[in-house]
Amino acid sequence: MMQYEITKEKSAEYLRQAIHHMSQQDAAFHPVSYAVWYEYSSGEHARLIDEVNDLIEKEKKLNEKSTAHLFHKHIAATDPDSAKVLVERFNQVVTDITTSTKQAGQETSQFKKSLDAWSGEIQQLEPQLGAQLGSLLSDTLQMQSAMHGLQHKLESSLEEISDLKSEIMKAKQEAISDGLTGLMNRKGFDSALHQCLDTLPDQETCLVIADIDFFKKVNDSYGHLFGDKVIQAVARVLKTVSGNLYTAARYGGEEFVLLLPHTSMETAREIAENIRRQVAAITIKNNVSQRLISNITISLGLTVYQPGESVDSFITRADQALYTSKAKGRNRVTMIEDALAAA
């Protein structure tokens, strides 16, 4: 994980170095090249540094393509959060420059207007001074056009930043989603769980862990693709039941979790029972035999968070409850209230 808890001076030093490196390349000034060279300058990212050095040795300069490749491989894909921070930082740099350029542009334009107004009158009174003013006017026009050019370039940089921001948000979302079901994946759930327990330690919070019964047999009997359809069907039940109130996720292969903040054990048990019943009612067409397959069941374990306990012990207790459901014959919900009951 890249670190950004560094002093302002250090950060400014990296920024200076990054801008120096960027100016030596073929790639333009934009957030992608900024992110790559900032990381390079910070010296934190050994693999990125090695690859940049190899490329420079071979190609002399980094172009748009190699810069984008380095960004996606070493920054956006491995650490979308840090990529976001880098892009935002570049955004700030560009916004600051844009604001001062705009201001300078306005001042130049004001100056040109005054010159325009005076030069006509002075031309008549003092022809020589009028000529000097004419040349000053032409310099001002040149400066104004340079300002417009720079402003235009900076504005397109800002557009690029906004595109990149959405790309990073998308990558961030993909990093915590499960591709097969569209539910949150384990990584996303673990962070949601930590966040929930950090903010609601004194509220009643329940956790359900569910696992499809005899799933190996489902795969063996009807094939892996059919197994995938079963996983998707169970995920749909969880999605519907959880709505916007609860957080559902695919925790592993055929295992699911449901986090229920502000929920009593009794309500959570009713919800878990509802999920169990809805899964038992699922029928899926087997595309090979064209027959409808039912008898899909899940076992569920449920527990309530004990204030002060660790996340691991919370999950372990829900897992123990699930194990009990499996041991007692499957297709059932088991509740374990606290550590004593689990023992």
Ligand X SMILES: Nc1nc2c(ncn2[C@@H]2O[C@H](COP(=O)(O)OP(=O)(O)OP(=O)(O)O)[C@@H](O)[C@H]2O)c(=O)[nH]1
Between CA 207 and CA 313 the distance in angstroms is: 12
Give the per-residue contact string, 247-286, with ligand X (x = CB under 6 A; - = no): ------xx--------------------------------
Residue appearing with tokens 């920054």: 75
What is the nearest approach in angstroms of ligand X to the Cβ of residue 227? Answer: 3
Quick one: tokens of 18?
């990054």
Element housing 250 (H / E): strand 247-252
Instruction: Identify which of residues 231 and 268 has a Cβ nearer to ligand X in the complex.
Output: 231
Instruction: Identify which of residues 111 and 214 has a Cβ nearer to ligand X in the complex.
Output: 214
- For β-strands 333-336 and 206-212, DSSP reports them as unpaired
Burial of 303 (0-12, 13-18, 19+ CB in 10 A): buried
* Member of 216, 239, 277, 291 binding ligand X (CB under 6 A): 216
Residue 215 contacts ligand X per CB under 6 A? yes
What is the nearest approach in angstroms of ligand X to the Cβ of residue 218? Answer: 8
Residue 231 contacts ligand X per CB under 6 A? yes
* Member of 31, 80, 188, 227 binding ligand X (CB under 6 A): 227
Between CA 137 and CA 141 the distance in angstroms is: 6
What is the nearest approach in angstroms of ligand X to the Cβ of residue 298? Answer: 9
121 is catalytic: no
Give the per-residue contact string, 314-333, with ligand X (x = CB under 6 A; - = no): ------------x---x---
Catalytic residue among 39, 160, 254, 255: 254
Between CA 314 and CA 147 the distance in angstroms is: 61
Query: Looking at this protein, which amino acid is placed at residue 182?
Result: G
Residue 301 contacts ligand X per CB under 6 A? no
Burial of 194 (0-12, 13-18, 19+ CB in 10 A): exposed
Instruction: Identify which of residues 102 and 330 has a Cβ nearer to ligand X in the complex.
Output: 330
Residue appearing with tokens 């892996």: 224
Contact segment (CB under 6 A) with ligand X among 64-72, 125-133, 215-223, 332-340 equals 215-223
Between CA 75 and CA 247 the distance in angstroms is: 28
Instruction: Identify which of residues 39 and 319 has a Cβ nearer to ligand X in the complex.
Output: 319
Between CA 232 and CA 234 the distance in angstroms is: 5
* Member of 212, 279, 322, 336 binding ligand X (CB under 6 A): 212
Catalytic residue numbers? 254
Contacts with ligand X by CB under 6 A lie at 211-217, 219, 224, 227-228, 231, 253-254, 326, 330
